[in-house]
Structure 1
Amino acid sequence: MNQFNFNDDDDSQLKQLITMLPDNYAVVYRKDGRVRINKVGLSFTALFFGILPAWFRGDWYNIFCMLGIEAGLTMLYSFLTGSDLATASYQLGIFFNFLWCGLYNLMYFRHSQSSGYKPYDDRSAQLLKQHRYYR
């Protein structure tokens, strides 16, 4: 599946698109032709919208990881403070948004790597290794 409708034989259109990307964006691809272009670093969309960026990307694995972490920490906080779950969830909401702001893009690229995605070019590979997104 080629989501950008590029010709499979000629990737010059993709190379042209890559030259227009900001320096903090990396391009990864899979052998079946799928390409992902995403930011490396803080996810400000996760800061403002929580887990919704993962939902819009169709990143189900990380959605369930994030929801599991949120549920576990909310229950622990509720137990330790004696508050009900709704209050604990409300009180921890901003904390979780800051947590996902710092970690979501890392989680996304690490899961992409385990799904078979590899850096498209040397610039993307260097950027991902520099930020320790790829092992």
Structure 2
Amino acid sequence: MKKSYRVKKDSDFGAIFNQGKSVANRRFVVYQLEKSQAHFRVGLSVSKKLGNAVVRNRIKRQLRHLLQEFSPQLKTYDFVVIARKGVEELSYVEMRKNLLHVLKLGQLYQERDMCEKENLI
């Protein structure tokens, strides 16, 4: 994922947490803040409670890959994805299902119908 798609600054994280709204399911919490920009930006947070560096980096790698997969359908918001306890035990498919669920709860994920997809190609 390109640097322009990442939330890196502490001030940006603070703004998202303080001014944004949040949605959650059992595996993820997503804080979101509406912004007027060309594309979404995302920050990832995986606690040390979930495992050692190898485990945490695997989770973040999988989340980045899933967000890249979902990118055409994501709104142009800034958001932070926080992994909860239990994510480290999920398979890739289960993680995808849970992340998609929480993104739909927060209305960050917009399904596109087949007509729109064909026009984009």
TM-score exceeds 0.5: no
- Report the structure number with the largest CA radius of gyration: 1
Structure with more helix by fraction: 1
Q: Which of the pair is proportionally richer in strand?
A: 2
TM-score, with length taken from structure 2? 0.28
